[in-house]
Amino acid sequence: MRKFRTAAAIRSGVLFLCCLAFVPVAQPDDAPPNEIGVTLEWDPNPEPEVVGYYVYVGTQSGVYTRVVDTGSQTFIRVAPLDPGITYYFAVTARSSDGLESPFSDEVSYTVPIDGVRAALTPVTFGVANEAITTRFSTQPGCRYFVQATEDLLTWRTLETFGPDTADEIFWEDAMTSSCDHRFYRVVAQLP
């Protein structure tokens, strides 16, 4: 496990980052045609000890489940991202001594369900064995995301189905009994 230290331990006193931002750019030529992602860019840290950066990614503010080493680059494309989900990002700088700065300010991005890259899918709901069931038709080349929320604000993906799935999908939420209430949707990532 990597040990994190504060910037105060670095000889010059402080490692800092500023201006983490989203940069609208064209999808890279080598990206899969239906892959959804976002490009992040930040100002370089001017301290000579800084040799690289880590980008932290999560679906809850302050809770990061993925770390990407960008080397010395001050930008990165983060993909794939699930449509309709809000992602949170922060960056740290790292020194040649292996020390790491505190997190930058966090930025968030909600992947749009815009009808062009992603769209809501008609769903039939039911109840079987005290569990919620969903049934929906699929189209060739699309990926499908069964998503749920308890507050209609924070959605999370419960299950993903690839583009080579059957013409109709029947899915059951085995965790229904653990929630007081839960709302569902199915999002198609279009080819």
Quick: pLDDT tens for 95-127: 988 899 999 999 999 999 988 889 999 999 998
The residue among 107, 122, 176, 119 whose CA lies nearest residue 148 is: 176
Q: Give yes or no for residue 73 having a pLDDT over 90.
A: yes
Q: Which residues of 143-167 are buried (b: 16+ CB within 10 A; e: fewer)?
A: bbbbbbeeeeeebeebeebeeeeee
The residues facing 24 across adjacent strands are none
Residue with tokens 């990614």: 57
Residues of the chain with CATH 2.60.40.10: 7-110
Fold that domain 118-189 belongs to in CATH: Immunoglobulin-like (2.60.40)
CA distance linking residue 148 with residue 159, whole number of Å: 10
Distances (CA, A) of 41 to 50, 55, 107, 119, 186: 16, 10, 11, 28, 31
Q: How confident is the model at residue 21 (pLDDT cuts 50, 70, 90)?
A: low
Which CATH superfamily, name and number, covers 7-110? Immunoglobulins (2.60.40.10)
Over the stretch 38-61, which tens digit does the pLDDT of each residue have? 999 998 988 889 999 999 999 999
Over the stretch 143-172, which tens digit does the pLDDT of each residue have? 999 999 999 988 999 999 988 888 999 999
